Structure 1
Amino acid sequence: MRQDGSVTDALDPDALDPADMREQYRTMELTVADLAPEPVEQFARWFKETAASPAIHEPNAMVVSTATPDGRPSSRTVLLKHYDAAGFVFFTNYGSRKGRELDANPYVALLFPWHPLARQVIVTGRAARVGRDETVAYFRTRPHGSQLGAWASHQSQVIESRAELLARYGELAARYPEREQVPVPPEWGGFRVVPETVEFWQGHENRLHDRLRYVRDTPEAETWRVERLSP
């Protein structure tokens, strides 16, 4: 431990100290007047710009945070597959940790970490399963190998080894060769996150970031208002 109380890595004297890392963000001011009337329209603007940036790998990658009914949180990276005025959609095994937690506690947060652009989008809301027809339609667009993978992986369950996973995949590949239709696993499907708040974060120097958040006064309200948060 240092004299100032911070802890260093005793095994590696050359270890980097996160406290010593600094970056000054330099971007244009984000004002309420810059925003679209609806948060999904504003998300579409930023998503288009992000997807066009070579600095961003997988712009649809988002951190999905869930919690158990007694408040124990968990997070993981998931790919956004669709968004519109009704919400943000991703797919998973319903028996996975996030699937089980969302079934028990539908409150969820999504974070899009577009750090090279000094931008983030944070969505909070409630998740609900999408209809089976929507799940089947999306599943049919997945590559053949990904369809097999959805069957092979009992997501979040403990397995003995990677060899066990590969063996299951091999059995499925033999049963459903390329160009043969793979049925949709019954425990696999989508969640739609219906937003209650959507925050657009843009970084600035000296931690004076812009944080503009769309909120509804009531869950039933059709219109959104925007509030500025202190960074």
Structure 2
Amino acid sequence: MNQDKLENLRADYTASSLSESSTKADPIKQFEAWFNEALEANVPEHNAMTLSTATTNGMPSARIVLLKGIYNDGFVFYTNYLSRKGKEITKNPVGALTFFWPGQERQVRIEGTLEKLSKEQSEKYFHSRPKESQIGAVVSPQSQEIEGRDVLEKKWNELAAEYTDKEVPKPSFWGGYILKPRMIEFWQGRTSRLHDRIAYKKIDNKTWKKVRLAP
């Protein structure tokens, strides 16, 4: 790509504004309000989020996962516990989530600690998924090297035949996590790059402090 064209890619943001008085006292409630507005605006995959984790020596990694639950104490997603992210969470149980909804010119950043959901919660969600996805979760050794796609397809076809008329058992290596936030920041694009940034910082187990950050 032409470097000059790349350097000149920019947009001016004029869709909305964000103030301390217009935001809710509870950042989870504020997130739900924005999340629902993205849903009503038909934002594609509005529950897609970047999950960032890190090794114990600080090497970060990030990938897109799907938000599957919003609770009073955090944000839920599901994955393979033996994947790269699962192994990093086991050794260093902190993480960050990032949402970007360009149509609304909004971004949300969330930082906190990660905990596994109960086996019962993971079981319930696993069996709510399409059977094809359940089998896919069983056969995929996520993040590990494989010889080729045909290896996965062969295993998938074998299990699909085996479980035609049976329930697929949730594998022990698969389940959910909840990220319990310590910081949530709401970013609203504004003109002239003077964006609005309202951040909530947890100062004890139940109290949030709301502050404005410079863009």
TM-score category by the smaller chain?
Answer: over 0.9
Structure whose alpha-carbon radius of gyration is higher: 1
Give 1:151-166 correspondences, 5 Å limit. Answer: 151-166=138-153
* Aligned with 1:214 (options 182, 185, 200): 200
Please report how far the alpha carbon of residue 35 of structure 1 lies from its aligned counterpart in structure 2 after TM superposition. Answer: 0.9
Give 1:123-202 correspondences, 5 Å limit. Answer: 123-177=110-164, 180-202=166-188
* Aligned with 1:53 (options 29, 41, 52): 41
Unaligned runs of 5+ in 2: none
User: Could you give the per-residue CA deviations for residues 10-35 of structure 1, whole angstroms, max 9, x where no partner exists?
Assistant: xxxx6784212011110222111111
* Secondary structure, aligned partner of 2:21: helix
CA contact (8 A) 2:17 2:189 kept: no
Question: Which residue identity lines up with residue 59 of structure 2 in the other structure?
Answer: R
Q: Percent identity?
A: 42
Question: Which residue identity lines up with residue 70 of structure 1 in the other structure?
Answer: N
Give 1:1-231 correspondences, 5 Å limit. Answer: 17-54=5-42, 56-177=43-164, 180-218=166-204, 220=205, 222-231=206-215
Please report how far the alpha carbon of residue 148 of structure 1 lies from its aligned counterpart in structure 2 after TM superposition. Answer: 0.5
CA distance in 1, matches of 2:189, 2:45: 20
Which of structures 1 and 2 has the larger relative contact order (alpha carbons within 8 angstroms, sep 6+)? 2
Unaligned runs of 5+ in 1: 1-8
CA RMSD of aligned residues (A): 1.3
* TM-score (norm. length: structure 2): 0.96
Question: Which residue identity lines up with residue 83 of structure 2 in the other structure?
Answer: S
Q: Which deviates more from structure 2 when the two are superposed, residues 98-107 or residues 18-27?
A: 18-27
